[in-house]
Amino acid sequence: MKFDTPATTNPIDQLKVIGQPVDRIDGPLKTTGTAPYAYERHDVAANPAYGCIVGSGIAKGRILSFDLSRAKAAPGVLAIVTHENAGKLDKGRFNAARLLGGPVVEHYHQAIALVVAETFEQARAAAQLVQVTYARTEGAFGLAHAKASTERRTTDRDNTVGDFAGAFAKAEVRLDATYSTPDHSHAMMEPHATLAAWDGDRLSVWTSNQMIDWTTGDLARTLGMPRDKVHLMSPYIGGGFGGKLFLRADTLLAALGARIARRPVKVAMQRPLIANNTTHRPATIQRIRIGATPQGKITAIGHESWSGNLADGKPENAVQQTRLLYAGEHRLTGTRLALLDLPEGNAMRAPGEAPGLMALEVAIDEMAERLGIDPIEFRVLNDTQVDPANAARPFSQRRLVECMRTGAERFGWNQRGARPGLVRDGRWLVGIGMAAAFRNNQVTKSGARVALDRLGTVTVETDMTDIGTGSYTIIAQTAAEMMGVPLERVVVRLGDSRFPVSSGSGGQWGANCSTAGVYAACTKLRDAVARRAGLEPVGAVFSDGMVRAGARSVPLAGLAGLEGEGAIVAEDVLEFGNLDKQYQQSTFGAHFVEVGVDAFTAEIRVRRMLAVCASGRILNPKSARSQVIGAMTMGVGAALMEELAVDERLGFFVNHDLAGYEVPVHADIPHQEVIFMDETDPISSPMKAKGVGELGICGVGAAVANAVYNATGVRVRDYPITLDKLIARMPDAA
């Protein structure tokens, strides 16, 4: 099915099942610990051995030699994989560095060996005995240092509209400020983990991955084998956040270990390796310049961002929202890549916008103060309903102003003191802040196969993944709505490379695109089922387990055979035309935060949070709310805690475990409220939905920062906002 004209009324609009806050259908499996995660697949491959990864102890250089004699002699050891016995490996299409290093080492904790043994403990013990002689070379590890020396060499092309420099110079009110965000780790609960088993030249892997199609292709490419000989399964995923978009070392090494040991092999990447071995959200340095009239109209807006990466990596696109969020005739945006020898920087929840808005939405707050205009009114004054660089291109939907107004009303924005540092509650200085939320809505084709069996059960198969987001549930809701059956009559199977290729889970496109693929397949199935019932398909109505046309009504149960024995099967792919070229598709919101800052110690506590989201149709308000409160929590982490500390001499992230890498816990997070605007976007898909899982983090960090400023009058432009950055500048506590 091609989606190239705006959606009209369709069966999804009935909202009997879609749009309802139903419980997660995988909830009982999760809460009873019986959802089979990759490392727990005891049922599929007999007698697995265990692999333990050895990470490089240097960031850059060469391995001169291995001494494996002691490791090989250790109890239980079956095999040791290194570049010397792994065979020829290609580099994956999506990897900036090789997943098995050696002899060249490209970053710290790059995998250089896998020790395979009978038990996990034996593998771990023997891994300590692997002796490596390195020749270390100097590398570039500090973004601030690399910024100056590499920006000219590797400047991306700037994106300009009008004459930014001239308009900024002429503007009567100006802001020129620089902000920084540190490297972040995904810190998902389930580590990257894989069980691999060979059957002759066929490879089966059970793993934890967001994008089945990309990863199956990359595993085959890396191993130099035909893609159809790789069977990849990832039905349950304990968090991804972008860290599991791509093939990673656990999967490749499990496959190599299983080949060399001639046994199924399980590998769970050790937690202390994850931060340096896998990808992370790269640090940024962002310069923002805003020029405005005294009345608050933006005339010039400029946003440049520097970030580091390996040579095959990309800069963090922290400026992308600045092209679209506010009006302004003269514009400049650009990203710069500094070549660094740190581990690969790549996508983490709302790549681009999440760190970009941490800077932009503080700059907007600073500019509003300079102008003496309320921060919400300043944003309203500069709202735009069209792409600011192309007036012929409207937003498909844009209700930013309504989100801010609704949030202001519900949160009690009028209680905020316009002058900072004046509201006290005992020892706490209290402040309120807000930020706009913005995230683009990307669309990508998605396929599904659906079947109706004799019992009237509808089965959906697609390689879509559920990374904790609720994909199982919204896909079941979609099929139930389309086929007119109760949710209990739908079976959903996900995350298998033998199923039709879906959008996968990334960039908050998964919910809208994958359900649209199910919609397309169900549209075909309705047709086939109506014909089987001897009814005219056009205008047939599916409800209450029946298909009806004219005066005739036929139960779905009994129409077909059992699964594999004559069930009615339909498969389709929802392909998107160019509506996303004609219209700018984005999601909008507003975040509100109240903080208390201890007047004596500068300890920051978040007291209340509210998100208002305009994201098209909300397919399931319960799972969508969970996505948003999770994202808000992650935003608090980014604002106040998260920072991979870089050792700039040796080139690695020092705090590479969950003891030193701090994330918010329950006790850090107070009352959170989420409001969804009641809207549908007929431009986005037949589902009229958009993503919300990343919108929820976009702007949160800035809202926290603006609240801290409102509480204290101290502006911190370098995240995370920790008390050491505040305390010397705090107002006199007395």
Contact residues for ligand MOS (CB under 6 A)? 210, 240-242, 245, 347-349, 351, 506-507
Tokens of residue 30, six digits:
């999760």
Q: Which residue is nearest to ligand MOS (CB)?
A: 242
Q: What is the 3-state secondary structure (H, E, C) of 394-441?
A: EECCCCHHHHHHHHHHHHCHHHCCCCCCCCEECCEEEEEEEEEEEEEC
Nearer to ligand MOS, 216 or 465 (CB): 465
Nearer to ligand MOS, 241 or 472 (CB): 241
| Catalytic residue from among 353, 461, 642, 694 | 694
Tokens of residue 560, six digits:
């077909």
Q: Give 45-56 as a DSSP string.
A: SSS-EEEEEEEP
CA 286-289-293 angle, to 5 degrees, is 155
CB neighbour list of residue 565: distance below 8 Å, 6 or more residues apart: none
H helical segments located in 262-399: 271-277, 353-371, 375-381
Q: Are 133 and 93 in contact (CB under 8 A)?
A: no
Nearer to ligand MOS, 171 or 513 (CB): 513
Q: Rounded to the nearest whole angstrom, what is the least distance from the CB of residue 186 to ligand MOS in the complex?
A: 8
Q: Rounded to the nearest whole angstrom, what is the least distance from the CB of residue 353 to ligand MOS in the complex?
A: 10
Helix (H, G, I), strand (E, B) or coil at 357: helix
Q: Rounded to the nearest whole angstrom, what is the least distance from the CB of residue 733 to ligand MOS in the complex?
A: 41
Q: How far apart are CA 409 and CA 389, in angstroms?
A: 32
Q: Rounded to the nearest whole angstrom, what is the least distance from the CB of residue 184 to ligand MOS in the complex?
A: 11
Q: Rounded to the nearest whole angstrom, what is the least distance from the CB of residue 470 to ligand MOS in the complex?
A: 15
Q: Rounded to the nearest whole angstrom, what is the least distance from the CB of residue 694 to ligand MOS in the complex?
A: 7
Nearer to ligand MOS, 280 or 449 (CB): 280
Amino acid at the residue 369: E
| Dihedral angle sign, alpha carbons of residues 18, 19, 21, 25 | positive
Give CA torsion, residues 76, 81, 87, 92, to 10 deg. Answer: 130
694 is annotated as an active-site residue: yes
Q: Which residue has the tokens 């084998």?
A: 225
- Of 458, 406, 466, 414, nearest to 437 (Cα)? 406
CB neighbour list of residue 222: distance below 8 Å, 6 or more residues apart: 89, 90, 91, 92, 99, 247, 252
Nearer to ligand MOS, 112 or 443 (CB): 443
Q: Rounded to the nearest whole angstrom, what is the least distance from the CB of residue 507 to ligand MOS in the complex?
A: 4
Q: Are 87 and 159 in contact (CB under 8 A)?
A: no
Nearer to ligand MOS, 442 or 584 (CB): 442
CB neighbour list of residue 141: distance below 8 Å, 6 or more residues apart: 59, 340, 341, 342, 646, 647, 648, 649, 650, 651
Nearer to ligand MOS, 347 or 618 (CB): 347
Q: How far apart are CA 313 and CA 335, in angstroms?
A: 13
Nearer to ligand MOS, 258 or 347 (CB): 347
| Dihedral angle sign, alpha carbons of residues 597, 598, 603, 605 | negative
Amino acid at the residue 710: N
Tokens of residue 157, six digits:
């092309």
**What number of helices (H) and strands (E) belong to the chain?**
17, 32
Nearer to ligand MOS, 240 or 345 (CB): 240
Helix (H, G, I), strand (E, B) or coil at 254: helix
Q: Are 682 and 390 in contact (CB under 8 A)?
A: no
For residue 578, report the phi and psi dihedrals to the nearest 5 degrees: -110, 25
Q: Rounded to the nearest whole angstrom, what is the least distance from the CB of residue 500 to ligand MOS in the complex?
A: 21
Nearer to ligand MOS, 221 or 349 (CB): 349
Say if residue 556 is exposed, middle or buried (CB neighbours under 10 Å; 0-12, 13-18, 19+). Answer: buried
Nearer to ligand MOS, 11 or 235 (CB): 235
Q: Rounded to the nearest whole angstrom, what is the least distance from the CB of residue 483 to ligand MOS in the complex?
A: 30
Q: Are 185 and 661 in contact (CB under 8 A)?
A: yes
Q: Rounded to the nearest whole angstrom, what is the least distance from the CB of residue 347 to ligand MOS in the complex?
A: 4
Q: How far apart are CA 197 and CA 49, in angstroms?
A: 10
Strand stretches in 56-182, DSSP E: 61-67, 77-81, 104-105, 111-117, 131-136, 159-161, 173-181
Q: Rounded to the nearest whole angstrom, what is the least distance from the CB of residue 326 to ligand MOS in the complex?
A: 24
Q: Are 411 and 432 in contact (CB under 8 A)?
A: yes
Catalytically active residues, by annotation: 694
